[in-house]
Amino acid sequence: MSATPLLHAQGLARYYGKHRAIEGISLDVSAGEVLGLLGPNGAGKSTTMGLLSGCLAPSAGQIVIDGVDLLERPKRAKRHIGYLPEHPPLYDDLCVDEYLRYAARLHGMRRAQLPAALQRAKQRTGLDAAGRALIGTLSKGFRQRVGIAQALIHQPGLIILDEPTVGLDPLQIREIRELIGELRAAHAVILSTHILAEVQAVCDRVHIINRGRTVFADTLANLAGHTASSLIVAFGAPPDVAELTAIAGIQAAHVLGGGRFRLEHDSATSPGSVAQTACDRGWQLRELRAERQSLEQVFMRAVYAETHEDRTP
């Protein structure tokens, strides 16, 4: 990540009347990065995207885009933002060229700039041959491409995509994900999603929110390096679960079948103590490895553990 992020958001909060949608959200995104904003339904993703794009006013907090304060100088800051809302603002009665021309004019581009801008945006989104097609006749995947083309027509530094693959078929999802990956070369990208695989497929970093608050934020590279507090073991002569949980520091043992188990352990326990016990008792150790922490585990721990705790009477 470069020293100065393209987007810096600090302490964002948004209330709808008395209802707190988000609070204390801070995030940075740099050029060349795709940040995934992940959370279950109602977590506050769209609200956060609305604030970052300047479409919603925050109740508290600061947003700086390419050195320009979004609240103090909204017009100037918005020049650096391209936004694809959850429901793309498309006009079915316009053809793709007419619509992109209209979007470019809304972004304050001069008429003389339009032909080159349209050609560039269409070429980058795979719409070269679709300029004269009526938007109302396009497939959902192509409509989404048009939505992305309007977001990048004025060559903003930051592109914000709210649930960009919702409602698409698997092939269209793959195509849009590839397109998002390509955008990284020239832009900072934030996308919101509730799909873990989406984050894993296209994002460099993940920011998980639950009920309006940040519950996890890190790079995917760091995530892969983390180890969970569990071991996978396999034995030729497997013991009973009770014998495994009797090993000091082993908190639970789950049978995986074929002599394999997942052992949950405390932070002080090393795989060596399990290996030693297996050796002493003749269990014929065949496999012993620390489990990698997956995004799913992080998500479940951060989101569902919190939700469950609150529901426990």
- Please give the residue ranges that form the binding site for ligand ATP (CB under 6 A): 16, 19, 21, 39, 41-47, 194
Q: Closest Cα partner for 260 from 235, 278, 228, 229?
A: 235
Task: Find the shortest distance in angstroms from Cβ 201 to ligand ATP.
Answer: 18
Note whether 199 and 206 are within 8 A (CB): yes
Of residues 15 and 102, the one with the C-beta less far from ligand ATP? 15
Cα gap 153→79, rounded to integer Å: 11
Of residues 44 and 156, the one with the C-beta less far from ligand ATP? 44
Q: Closest Cα partner for 303 from 210, 212, 206, 220?
A: 210
Task: Find the shortest distance in angstroms from Cβ 214 to ligand ATP.
Answer: 13
Of residues 22 and 298, the one with the C-beta less far from ligand ATP? 22
Q: Give the three-class secondary structure for 19.
A: strand
Of residues 46 and 125, the one with the C-beta less far from ligand ATP? 46
Task: Read off the tokens for 94.
Answer: 């316009």
Q: Closest Cα partner for 251 from 242, 233, 262, 264?
A: 264
Strands, sheet with 81-84, edge to edge from the N-terminal-most edge strand: 81-84, 158-162, 188-193, 34-38, 205-210, 213-219
Task: Find the shortest distance in angstroms from Cβ 48 to ligand ATP.
Answer: 7
Task: Find the shortest distance in angstroms from Cβ 6 to ligand ATP.
Answer: 23
Cα gap 127→92, rounded to integer Å: 16
Task: Find the shortest distance in angstroms from Cβ 209 to ligand ATP.
Answer: 7
Of residues 44 and 58, the one with the C-beta less far from ligand ATP? 44
Task: Find the shortest distance in angstroms from Cβ 50 to ligand ATP.
Answer: 7
Task: Find the shortest distance in angstroms from Cβ 16 to ligand ATP.
Answer: 3
Where are the strands (E) in 203-302, listed by range?
205-210, 213-219, 227-235, 250-257, 260-265, 285-292
Cα gap 233→256, rounded to integer Å: 9
Of residues 20 and 292, the one with the C-beta less far from ligand ATP? 20
Of residues 21 and 176, the one with the C-beta less far from ligand ATP? 21
